[in-house]
């Protein structure tokens, strides 16, 4: 069985595979095609993280009162965080279902399906009845929509990362794929800006009565634009070049056995699909970043407003400021990943994340406005955005062309359901029981340590041949 060559990251990698046994020459894509792919991935990821931040801020500011009984504020906060976590239950299922479909029928079609499902669920949250109107039916409907969001979102950011990695020039994959992380940043910024305007423009009672609905309903505008872009998007050149793809769709085993597929298709489908090391490294890299994301972008906002009793306006302002800083952080880290490799940048940024965790949390706990801003900006950009910039490319590079979409999506979402889904609930319970800030810093250090361990264990993957059906490790 022939296999594709592995590209040494220290050498200048070829733009297309040339060795014998490599997949057929990739179809050419223009700069305009690359731009459309980048905008498509950016928009989809922006919508996903706009929902992420819309719910995070809503959970911290209003959902504990709108969708849960207000007679026990502590339990209401835990309930709001738990409903946030429920969205992650459906994500691995969606990643498996849509990822498998994406490896069979192509990335473009599946990314269309996911954006529609995810966008509609987000918008419908804005028209839900409240606990005061329908009682327990309100949180039940919220849970249902969170499940639908999760089912679509499970394959959204992984698919966007795969598409951009397979579109991008080899020497600029880190920079191009970092646009996915910028999508997360844009979504976070937009959601935070909308909430900041609401907090100024309406009274607290108006916010509770109807104001909270506006951000969710307005998200429909992003969905419509993203759908239009994806309708005009060409398929990934790497997918089209696969040896098992005939007329735009991967052939199945029965077709191969019947001799109705090219001879190369059998070699391609018999390649190693996964290895223990590839799955473990990818899982731990994602686990570290996702855990930090849940702690910093979700729980830390609640911690500031509920535990530290800081002004709600300050909580939204720090997110906006940090998101603006990330417009520099994310592409710079992507460029450095192209220059020095994924392994080295993962190692550096996760180690720095461990070191700054305690000082940053102390700055936030001080309650002094400028210290709160500095503490949040530093820990968010190092512990979340820097790792996200590398991750969106590293995970697709780890897995082979045969099942890249499915493997990337499932690993991302299984790690996320364990880390991001559960961590805010656990953190809320521990802080409520201890009355201390120390668990917050310790949990952030733990997740950064997981990413550091994986970075030390992994091999360099920058510049590898993405048409190779085998995993990189």
> pLDDT for 402-437, tens place per residue?
889 999 999 998 998 888 767 888 888 888 888 889
- The number of residues making up the chain comes to 473
* pLDDT value of residue 81: 64
Looking up residue 350, the CATH number of its domain turns out to be 1.20.1250.20
* pLDDT value of residue 37: 85
Question: How far apart are alpha carbons 315 and 308 in whole angstroms?
Answer: 11
Q: What is the CA radius of gyration of the chain?
A: 22
Reported as half-sphere exposure (CB side, CA atoms, 13 A), residue 275 has a value of: 14
Q: Is residue 17 part of a domain?
A: no
Q: Summarize pLDDT for 77-110 with one digit per residue, the tens.
A: 666 666 766 777 788 999 999 999 998 888 888 9
Q: Is residue 425 part of a domain?
A: yes
Please compute the mean of the pLDDT values over residues 162-189 and round it to a whole number. Answer: 83
Question: How far apart are alpha carbons 327 and 342 in whole angstroms?
Answer: 20
Q: Is 259 exposed, middle or buried (0-12, 13-18, 19+ CB in 10 A)?
A: exposed
Least confident of 267-281, 354-368, 449-463: 267-281
Higher-pLDDT residue of 240, 243: 240
Q: Is residue 464 part of a domain?
A: no
Give me the helices (H) in 89-219, please.
91-105, 107-125, 131-134, 137-153, 156-167, 173-201, 204-206, 213-218
Reference 217, options 58, 66, 346, 371; nearest CA is 58
Q: Is residue 432 part of a domain?
A: yes
Reference 174, options 285, 332, 405; nearest CA is 332
Q: Are 377 and 314 in contact (CB under 8 A)?
A: no
Q: Summarize pLDDT for 431-451 with one digit per residue, the tens.
A: 888 888 999 999 999 999 999
Q: Is residue 73 part of a domain?
A: yes
Q: With cut-offs at 50, 70 and 90, classify the pLDDT of residue 170.
A: confident
Residue 55: which residues within 8 A CB-CB, separation 6 or more?
A: 63, 84, 87, 125, 146
Percent of the chain clearing pLDDT 90 (strictly above): 30
Q: Is residue 364 part of a domain?
A: yes
Q: Is residue 21 part of a domain?
A: no
Q: Is residue 310 part of a domain?
A: yes
Q: In total, how many domains does the chain have?
A: 1
Token representation of residue 321: 């400021």
At CB < 8 A and 24+ separation, what contacts does 222-226 make?
222/43, 222/46, 222/47, 222/50, 222/119, 222/190, 223/47, 223/115, 223/116, 223/118, 223/119, 223/120, 223/122, 223/123, 225/43, 226/40, 226/43, 226/44, 226/47, 226/115, 226/119
Percent of the chain clearing pLDDT 70 (strictly above): 84
Q: Is 84 exposed, middle or buried (0-12, 13-18, 19+ CB in 10 A)?
A: buried
Reference 290, options 91, 39, 148; nearest CA is 91
Question: How far apart are alpha carbons 229 and 191 in whole angstroms?
Answer: 21
Question: How far apart are alpha carbons 222 and 178 in whole angstroms?
Answer: 20
Domain that residue 209 falls in: 31-457
Q: Summarize pLDDT for 351-384 with one digit per residue, the tens.
A: 999 999 999 999 999 989 999 999 999 999 999 9
């Amino acid at each position: 069985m022939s296999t594709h060559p592995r590209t040494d990251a220290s050498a200048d990698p070829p733009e297309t595979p040339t060795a014998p046994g490599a997949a057929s020459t990739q179809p050419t894509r223009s700069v305009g095609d690359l731009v459309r792919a980048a905008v498509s991935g950016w928009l989809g990821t922006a919508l996903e993280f706009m929902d992420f931040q819309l719910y995070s801020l809503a959970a911290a500011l209003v959902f504990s009162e709108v969708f849960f009984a207000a007679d026990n504020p502590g339990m209401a906060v835990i309930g709001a965080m738990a409903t946030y976590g429920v969205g992650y239950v459906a994500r691995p299922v969606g990643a498996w279902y849509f990822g498998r479909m994406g490896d069979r029928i192509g990335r473009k079609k599946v990314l269309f399906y996911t954006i529609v499902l995810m966008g509609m669920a987000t918008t419908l949250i804005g028209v839900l009845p409240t606990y005061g109107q329908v009682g327990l039916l309100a949180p039940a409907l919220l849970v249902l929509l969170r499940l639908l969001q999760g089912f679509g979102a499970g394959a959204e950011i992984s698919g966007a990362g795969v598409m951009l990695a397979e579109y991008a020039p080899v020497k600029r994959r880190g920079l191009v794929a970092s646009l996915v992380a910028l999508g997360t940043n844009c979504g976070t910024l937009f959601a935070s800006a909308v909430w900041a305007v609401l907090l100024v423009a309406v009274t607290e009672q108006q916010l509770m009565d109807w104001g909270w609905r506006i951000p969710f309903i307005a998200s429909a505008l992003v969905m419509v634009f993203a759908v239009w872009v994806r309708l005009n998007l060409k398929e990934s050149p790497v997918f089209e070049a696969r040896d098992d793809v005939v007329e735009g769709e991967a052939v199945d085993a029965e077709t191969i056995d019947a001799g109705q597929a090219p001879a190369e298709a059998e070699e391609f489908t018999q390649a190693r699909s996964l290895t223990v090391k590839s799955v473990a490294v990818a899982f731990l890299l994602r686990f570290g970043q996702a855990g930090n994301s849940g702690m910093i972008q979700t729980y830390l906002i609640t911690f500031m407003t509920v535990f530290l009793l800081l002004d709600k306006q300050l909580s939204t302002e720090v997110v906006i400021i940090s998101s603006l800083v990330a417009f520099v952080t994310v592409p710079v880290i992507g460029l450095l990943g192209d220059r020095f490799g994924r392994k080295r940048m993962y190692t550096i940024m996760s180690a720095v994340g461990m070191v700054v965790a305690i000082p940053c949390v102390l700055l936030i706990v001080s309650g002094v406005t400028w210290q709160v801003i500095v503490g949040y900006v530093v820990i968010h950009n190092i512990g979340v955005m820097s790792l996200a910039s590398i991750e969106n490319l590293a995970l697709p590079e780890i897995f082979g062309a045969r099942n890249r979409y499915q493997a990337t999506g499932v690993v991302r979402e299984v790690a996320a359901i364990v880390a991001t889904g559960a961590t805010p609930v656990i953190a809320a319970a521990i802080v409520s029981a201890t009355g201390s800030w120390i668990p917050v810093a310790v949990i952030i250090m733990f997740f950064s340590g997981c990413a550091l361990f994986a970075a030390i264990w992994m091999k360099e993957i920058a510049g590898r041949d993405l048409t190779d059906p085998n995993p990189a490790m």
